[in-house]
Amino acid sequence: MNKKVKIILGIVILLIIWGVIFIIDYNRCANLKEPIFVIEKSKNDTLSNQIYYGLGYKVEVNKDLKVNSLLDDIQTEIQYKTKIEELPKDYSFIQAIRDNCVISSNSHKIYNKDELDKFLENVNNNIPDFVRCISFSEEGDMLITDVNFEGNKSFRYCLDSTRDKWAGEEDRTYRYGNFRDLRIDESDEKFSIYLMEDVEGDLKGPYVIGYYKNYEIINDYEFNYLLEIQKSENIEKKKITVDELKNKYDYDIYYYGIDSAIIEIDNQKMDLIEALKNDKVTMEKIIEQAERDSKSIIVSDMYKEGGSMIYFYDSYTIIKRNSLDGDRDVYIGIPEMRLNDVEG
């Protein structure tokens, strides 16, 4: 083999090697990984663009392109949710479910667990995410926890204890912290989540949420026929089955301690009386929904004499009254309404 052929062959081999090196680095960069065959890289302390100088080529990659894009999405999500400091003091259990909060209740149920599962999966994949969790004190007061995972082992935390009436006044406040680690404590019976390795703040290993594994899981609960009431200055009964409604029902419907009620149907709000008149809903449907809600999201009770039922929502109460002599009435009223208040 003469010298000229050897030179050409050497050049070809070098080009092949260079091509392999280039392809390897190109594929790594395309998958947001650092190139291997680099001579030099630019000095850049940020998490954004990084320039690498290879053998006759230069590549510029954004190592956190995926994370930054998702971070923008999560910031939008955080803005969508009301800031924890701006939640109303009468923030209701039902509203929390509708807001996709993860709720571990004292009634052995966990709501929106799929939101928690998604959050934990994103943490495991280093994808920024946000979760709002709610638990309750032994006395039944609401405790709200926000966790914002920023990626790269950074967790921002806020605990809202302002609704804990049994705590000392100095403890009914907001507490903040920043942590490096999320810890899952799992036993045969219980699943608990804590934050560890504090960076700032005075909290040590704060609790996020927990639940027993035998809890009933309720995801994507379908709400129908919720009411908003306008309280009256006078606590008294007011019959609404008059005129058109009197002919539609063979029993009477009353307001108690309220002037009006608004019902939400198919994401539209309307006056309850008008909705009943125009057959947008029936009282039977409302009672049927209340019975369904009593299995999952509200408390109910039955009176043995006559079998009357009472349904307790956050901001109102419904009574389906059945007397021993056969009378049937329905009452919609203030949360404090009881059967003794409307009888007689």
pLDDT value of position 41: 58
Decide which of 340 and 44 is more confident. Answer: 340
Q: Which of 218, 243, 266 is the last residue of a domain?
A: 218
Whole-angstrom distance, CA of residue 87 vs CA of residue 85:
6
User: pLDDT value at position 133?
Assistant: 96
Question: By residue range, what is the domain housing residue 209?
Answer: 67-218
- At residue 3, the pLDDT reads 63
Question: Given a cut of 80, is residue 285 above it in pLDDT?
Answer: yes
- Do both 239 and 332 map to the same domain? yes
Same domain, 187 and 74: yes
Domain count, the chain: 3
Residue 259: the pLDDT is: 96
Which pLDDT belongs to residue 52?
63
Indicate if 197 and 251 belong to the same structural domain. Answer: no
- At 134, give phi and psi (nearest 5°): -130, 130
Nearest to 208 by CA among 191, 220, 221: 191
Residues pairing with 329 in the sheet: 252, 321
Task: Report yes or no: 276 and 263 within 8 Å, Cβ to Cβ.
Answer: no
pLDDT of residue 45: 41
Residue reference for tokens 């850049």: 44
With a cut of 90, say whether residue 35 has pLDDT above it.
no
Strand partners, 322: 328
Q: What is the pLDDT of residue 55?
A: 63
Instruction: Give the whole-number percent of the chain exceeding pLDDT 70.
Output: 77
Band (pLDDT 50/70/90 cuts) for residue 70 is very low
In this prediction, residues 116-138 reach a mean pLDDT of: 94
Query: What average pLDDT does the chain have?
Result: 84
Pairwise CA distance, residues 309 & 78, whole Å: 40
More confidently predicted of 263 and 35: 263
**211 and 99 inside one domain:** yes
Same domain, 75 and 214: yes
Please check whether residues 82 and 210 belong to one and the same domain: yes
Q: How confident is the model at residue 71 (pLDDT cuts 50, 70, 90)?
A: very low
Are 233 and 265 part of one and the same domain?
Answer: yes
Whether 78 and 214 share a structural domain = yes
Q: Are residues 81 and 115 in the same domain?
A: yes
Task: List, in order, residues 6 or more apart from 280 with CB less than 8 Å away.
Answer: 263, 265, 270, 274
Given pLDDT bands bounded at 50, 70 and 90, which one contains residue 73?
very low
- Assess whether 202 and 109 both reside in one domain: yes
Taking phi over 0 as left and psi of -120 to 50 as alpha, with beta for the rest, 336 belongs to alpha
pLDDT (0 to 100) of residue 82:
83
> Looking at per-residue confidence, does 67 or 256 come out higher?
256
46, 62, 78 - which closes a domain? 62
Clarify whether residues 208 and 130 are in a common domain: yes
Q: How confident is the model at residue 139 (pLDDT cuts 50, 70, 90)?
A: confident
Judged against a pLDDT cut of 90, whether residue 192 lies above it is answered with yes
Tokens 């009593």 sit on residue:
294
Pair (207, 245) in one structural domain: no
pLDDT of residue 42: 55
pLDDT at 17: 75
Classify residue 132 by burial, with Cβ atoms within 10 Å: 0-12, 13-18, 19+. buried
C-alpha–C-alpha distance, residues 296 and 60, integer Å: 54
Q: Pick from 19-28, 231-240, 321-330 the range whose average pLDDT is largest.
A: 231-240
pTM score over 0.95:
no
pLDDT tens digit sequence for 209-221: 999 999 999 999 9
Which of 218, 235, 268 terminates a domain? The answer is: 218
